[in-house]
Every structure is written in C-alpha cells, then in structure tokens.
Structure 1
C-alpha cells in the first residue's frame, strides 16, 4: 500500500503516523526495496521542522543527498504539512524573481 501511494501520487516521501496521528517516521521507495512485510520494518527517521522555522533554514537538510522532504509538525508531532526540495526551489525562485523585478536596472 505504501509503494502504491508513493507511485500513485508521484511523491518520494510518505510520512508514517501512529494511531493518534503523530508522526513516527517516513518511508520512501528506496526503503521499500528492502525485504520486509511491514512499513515499520523499513521506516526511517523523518526530518521535521516547526511551522515557524524559516523555510530557507531547511536548505541544508534538503540538499544533504538523502532527504527529499521535511515534515512540518506541531509540538505534539501531528503533521501540518510537508516541504519538498521542489517546494523550496520554487520559493527561492520566487524570491529571486521578486528581487530582480524590484532592483533598479
């Protein structure tokens, strides 16, 4: 089911929650290539951030060659959202374009 969701939604990271909806880890296609019958058996630690963390501060995590997304969680580790490499790149491009547009020629 995890592999199907990743492929159907064209995503690289799938957050995993417990019965109370709290983040417990993440799984991606790379992890799912390991021989096991459960997500718990291949789940890795999820990279997380609080909603008030500046987005550009996620750059080191999203460019480490391992992480494709950072899960945004509240104090109780409930998922509020997800920031991907593409999201951060798009935000950086918008900032750059705004700066270029506002700069005198």
Structure 2
C-alpha cells in the first residue's frame, strides 16, 4: 500500500468526496484506510447484565483507491491540489515514494 499513517489525504470519490484528513490506521491486506473524522458510523450496543447500553461513534474504513495524497490545501482563492503516489528508486537503490504529478520525492 502506498499510504502511511499520518499522511494528509483527500477523498476523491464517494459520499465524502473533497473532504480532507489524516490517516490514523491502514490495513494492507484489505487495502483499506481509516481517516480521522471521515466516514463516522454509529453503533448501538444493547444493555447486558454486566453493562449498560450505549451508543458509540467511530471511523469506518475507506478503500485506498478512493483517496489521494494532499499536495496543497485549499484556500479561499485556490482549490486543493492532490496527487497519486508512485514508487521509484534513488541513486543508492533505495525504494522511495514519489509524487506522480511533480515527480518529486514525497
């Protein structure tokens, strides 16, 4: 997966299109990411003998293909700029992440 924890991302498709946030968790096998304050779901827990019933809210995962790395945040006069991430090798042969739009190291 090309995304890592604490990357600033923007949602490119779906219900939350255009919303920005930080990645708080990733799942490489399922290709999912959790983004802070995006895709919040509510779970209602029934009361049991030992516990009270409660309502909890938490972030649900989003597929990694529906997000892109944020290059520049939006302001009043400009639009947010985002790009996909690719891989390349530097001169030492080490694998690095690059911004596909600018071809610079991320």
Question: Does TM, scored on the shorter chain, surpass 0.5?
Answer: no
Q: Which has the higher helix share?
A: 1
Q: Which has the larger radius of gyration?
A: 2
Question: TM-score w.r.t. structure 2 length?
Answer: 0.27
Question: TM-score w.r.t. structure 1 length?
Answer: 0.27
Q: Which has the higher strand share?
A: 2
